Amino acid sequence: MKKTNKVIIATAAVAVAATAIAPLGNVFAATAPTWTGGSSATIIRKIPNAYGTISNTFGYTITADSNNPAGATGVPAAPSIVFNDSYTTQGEASKTATVDFSGMQFERAGDYSYAIAESSSTNSTIYPVSGDTYTAVVSVRNNNDLTGFVASLYIKDSDGNKLTTFSGANSEFTFASTPAYTNIQVSHTVSGSAADPTICFSYTFAASTNDSYVLSTESTCENNDTIKNGDVIKLKHQDTATIGLVRAGSQIPVGTTYSFTKVGSDAYTTSMDGVEQTSTGTKTMVATDAPTYNTANKTAINERLDSTVDTGAVMNIAIYILLALAGAAGVYYVARKKLSNKA
């Protein structure tokens, strides 16, 4: 009987001890902590030099560190940030998403680290993914009264440094990458013995975007200061025009498809970059990323008109001359004959 009582007392003591030390780190049922200073962080996505229509989705990943203590549940789902806006002037665009850790539960105290990175961009050619990776650290500790856990949140940068100014309710991650923009250059010449260097030829500009771009040219032909899809540009001999100005508030997104098409038809032969076109010649290209102009972003248009000689008219004149010579020879012969008879 005394032995039985000892077993009962020992079992009860173990149960009490287990309850008392549960918050110290032993594995028990997952417990929601009491948060101090806030349980959510803000992802800020910035696009420097944003201009025109921006339609792009940035995706993110939240990855638990392999050294985290076991037993954490309720890790927040990775968010995405969607841009679908137009900007009439060049400047910084910014949107946010919230990462909320308040739904997490923990089985033991410890530091739980989660890497947050930008993983995708729907148009990475224009809007490349940021290479930054931040770490959200959820620090879980025993409550002073040993009745549960308390948790706090802080951020580490890509180098592993704790960002003391960004903790608790002020926690935030900023991702940014400069979008890829470029510009287009078109030059114009005329050639041929009958070409007129003063004529302003018209070409329709087509682009896969509907944004308006700065048009810069010293041409004496009448042009607007801006140009967009469907507008006409006028050029004459030795004119050069630039569409889009890098770092000047009007840039063309890399990957934009564009073309120039001659308006109307005439006796001139149109060539673009040395390739002869039809009378309403057109050339389609894709703007490529380059800090300066390159072959892909240049278009050289030439209009050629040579003087022609009507071979039929030449033959007719030759026949008239021969007939005239023959007639003159006949007259001369008759006159000589008469003189000979008189003698």
Domain spans in the chain, listed from the N-terminal domain onward: 2-176, 181-304
State the pLDDT at residue 171: 63
Phi, psi of 194 (to 5 degrees): -110, 5
Q: Which fold has domain 2-176?
A: Immunoglobulin-like (2.60.40)
Torsion of CA 107, 111, 117, 119, to 10 degrees: -30
Question: What's the CATH superfamily of 181-304?
Answer: Collagen-binding surface protein Cna, B-type domain (2.60.40.1140)
Residue 284's DSSP bridge partners are 259
The gap from C-alpha 110 to its chain's centroid, in whole angstroms, comes to 43
What single letter denotes the amino acid at residue 41? A
Nearest to 299 by CA among 233, 251, 214: 233
Helices (H), the chain: 2-21, 311-342
The answer to whether residues 122 and 114 touch, using CB atoms and an 8 Å cutoff, is: no
State the pLDDT at residue 10: 45
Phi-psi region for residue 160, left (φ > 0), alpha (ψ -120 to 50) or beta? left
**Residue for token digits 């954490």?**
72
CA 253 to CA 179: how far, in whole Å? 8
The answer to whether residues 190 and 302 touch, using CB atoms and an 8 Å cutoff, is: yes
* 3-class secondary structure, 132: coil
Per DSSP, which regions of 101-176 are E strands?
110-121, 133-142, 149-156, 162-167, 172-176
CA 212 to CA 229: how far, in whole Å? 8
- pLDDT tens digits, residue range 263-307? 988 899 999 888 887 655 566 767 766 545 455 688 899 999 998
State the pLDDT at residue 248: 47
The answer to whether residues 232 and 263 touch, using CB atoms and an 8 Å cutoff, is: yes
* Domains 2-176 and 181-304 agree in fold: yes
What single letter denotes the amino acid at residue 341? N
pTM listed for this prediction: 0.61
State the pLDDT at residue 25: 45
State the pLDDT at residue 50: 78
State the pLDDT at residue 328: 61
262-284 burial, b for 16+ CB within 10 Å, e for fewer?
beeeeebbbbbeeeebeeebebe
* Residue ranges, the chain, pLDDT below 50: 1-4, 6-26, 247-248, 291, 293, 313-315
| DSSP tag of 245 | B
CA 13 to CA 183: how far, in whole Å? 79
